[in-house]
Structure formats: C-alpha cells, structure tokens
Structure 1
Amino acid sequence: MKNYTNDNTARRYIAHVSTLGTTQIHLRNPYIIAWWSAAFPGFGHLLLSKYLRGFVLFIWEVVINLQSNINVAMIHSFQGDIDMAKESLNTKWLLIYIPVYIFAIWDSYRTTVDLNKIYILAESENHTFNSFSMGAMEINYLDKRNPIMSIIWSLFMPGLGQLYIHRIIVAFFIVTWTVVFFYYSHLLESISLLFLGEIQKATNVLNPEWLLFFPSLYGFATYDAYINTVENNKLAEKEQKNFLEKTYQHSDFYIEKEKR
C-alpha cells in the first residue's frame, strides 16, 4: 500500500495539513508582501505563515504606535495641522519604532524571495504530503472552497474568513485583536448612536487613535482569506491530480508534447 503522508523523508514539502490549519508555500510577489509589512508590521510575515514572527511584530506595532502617538500625529496631519502632528509625537518611543518597522519590511521581502526559491525546488521534487488530519479537537482536510465567501465573511468580522478556510491560529489572533480594537475605539457604540440619529454623540464617543487600526486590519483579513482560499483550491487540485496519477495511471502512459 502506498504512503501518502508527510513522513519527513523529503528535503522540502510544498504543504502540511494539521488540525490547526493548512500551511503551504507558493509563489508570491515580494513587493506585495513588503507592502503589507509597511501597512502594518507583522502582516507580511503572517501572509508567509511565519506566525511567531508576525505576532511579535504586530503586537510591537500596536504597543509602540500607541506610546509614540503615531496615529494621533496622523490624525492631525490629515487635518492639515502639521505643527500639532509634530508636537504630539513622542520621539523617545518613535526612535525605537523606526528600525523595527524597516526590519519588518526588509525581512518579509527577503523571506518571500527565499520561499519562492524553495517552492520551485519543492515543486520539482513533487513529494507527497498529507491531505487529512484528525485530532481530539479538530479535523482538517484539503477541499475547495469559495473565495468570494472568504471575502464576505471577512467583511462581516475580520477572522471569520480565516475560520472558513481553517486557518485557526491566524483566525484566533485576528478575532482577538478585532475585539480589542472595537472595545477601545468605541466603534460599535458610535454605530449604535448613529442609528439613533445622535450624530454628534456618535462622533464624540469615538477614539480615533484606536479607530485608525481598523483599515489595515480589515484589509489584511480580507486579502489573506481570499488569497489563501485560492491557493488552497490549487493545492487540493494538485494533490488530487498526483493521487490519481500515482494510483491509477499506468507507468508506460506518456503524452507526447506537440512540436512547434
């Protein structure tokens, strides 16, 4: 009987299916990954499934951003009040923020280039990997899902798109921080007042410093869910194709390529 599990006998694998999610490598645009790191440090690494590094950089961004008043300065700059933007910045924390911010962009770009090379090598090796994982808490398996549904659920609540495609670790992290941002920004309270027609109260209750985290969070959650749904679908097709070829295709079967 043939073995179709990830048994660590190959040098490289393109994917691994566990109860916590499906982790895979595929070709990515390094500039896109670097852009997400620039939008919010940690997002680029999370797209690469470099979870621990991504979580550290994300939390660093939130803490140092709040301590250095970067979002407050951005609000003043959006209003054209450049002098207030300068005065609001805490330079002691800002000087710590800058090198880590640059590192997040550089490291995500470098890692993407390396993983693209590794993917090409792993693709040529074409070693089998597990497509089904069962544990006491969860079951995960490769299947095809609708990318549009990933977008819709992510727009309802960041993290739900990741749950839809079984990216448990990222989903838990995003949902947790979404709740934190909702709580401290008072966004839901503001929306409730807006529905009641209390526009002035709805505006006053908002905490813009925390509110500015939402565009990046919503954008990343939606993009990550969509891209990983598309790539998981490709992976499911590839795994099924390899299984059928190795199980049912005759060893002498050959398709001659058309000469040009």
Structure 2
Amino acid sequence: MRNIAALFSMLMPGFGQIYNGQFTKGVFFLIVEHFDNILGKISQAIHLDFNGLHQQAVEAANFEYLLFYPGFYAYCIWDAWYYVKPNADKSKTAIPFVIGGFLGEIGAILANRLPDKLSPIYCVKMVQ
C-alpha cells in the first residue's frame, strides 16, 4: 500500500493522497502542481532539454516558480508514503519537504551555469 501511494504521487503530485483517501488534500496538491507547472514553464523546459536545446530550456524556465517545485514534489511523494505507515507521527512529514526544497533550489540556481556539454541529451548523443 505505501509503495503504491508513493508511485501514484510520483506520477502526479496529489494522486497518492487521493489513493490514500485524502481527497481534499490530493485535489489541492493537483491544483498547486498545475499552477506551478504552468507559471514555471516546467513542461516547456523539459521538452526543450530533451530535444537537446539545453540553453533554451534554461532561458524558458521561470525560476521564481521552478524553485518551489522540487521540494513540493518530494513532499507529495513522502506524504503519500508516510501517511499509510501505521503508528507514524504525522507531524514529521515536513522534514523531506525542507530537504527536497533546499536541494532542488541549489540545483535550479546552478542550472544556468552548466555548460551545454553537461546536458543529459548531449551525454546520450556522445555515447551513441
């Protein structure tokens, strides 16, 4: 049960909470995810990066909203997984959100300093 809830949240933040029966929380997380994705232009940046346009992906992303996403994503997965745990202290679920947010922000801040040759698509092309 716990792993299935976490996998649903990996698919889309909020799905794991809905799977666990936390409908209101799940719908709220879905709405937050969609607004953050649209305002941060996350899907557009991913599409550009997967097509080898790393610099354009960095320029397209809105880092004011993008910095929030990694921590939020990690929190949704953790919350869905941890909620099902028997005898769990539900007040500690904010710990991964803080850690994920911190690490995500560091990665997002340093993303525009990466040379094009460090793009994942470029590395795949080099292997072929």
TM-score (norm: length of structure 2) = 0.64
* Partner secondary structure for residue 158 of structure 1: coil
- 2:37 pairs, out of 172, 182, 191, with 182
Q: Please show how residues 1-260 of structure 1 align to structure 2 within 5 Å.
A: 146-231=1-86
* Alignment: residue pair count: 87
Structure having greater relative contact order (Cα 8 Å, sep ≥ 6): 2
More strand by share: 1
Q: CA deviation at 1:215?
A: 2.0
Q: CA deviation at 1:216?
A: 2.0
* Partner secondary structure for residue 231 of structure 1: coil
What CA distance in whole angstroms lies between the structure 2 residues aligned with 1:231 and 1:179?
A: 31
More helix by share: 2
Equivalent position amino acid for 1:193 in 2: L
C-alpha distance after superposition, 1:200-227 (max 9, x if no partner): 1111000111011112211221111111
% identical aligned pairs: 28
What CA distance in whole angstroms lies between the structure 2 residues aligned with 1:196 and 1:216?
A: 26
5+ residue gaps in structure 2? 88-128
What CA distance in whole angstroms lies between the structure 2 residues aligned with 1:215 and 1:196?
A: 22
What CA distance in whole angstroms lies between the structure 2 residues aligned with 1:166 and 1:231?
A: 15
What CA distance in whole angstroms lies between the structure 2 residues aligned with 1:191 and 1:206?
A: 9
* Partner secondary structure for residue 178 of structure 1: helix
TM-score (norm: length of structure 1) = 0.32
What CA distance in whole angstroms lies between the structure 2 residues aligned with 1:215 and 1:195?
A: 18
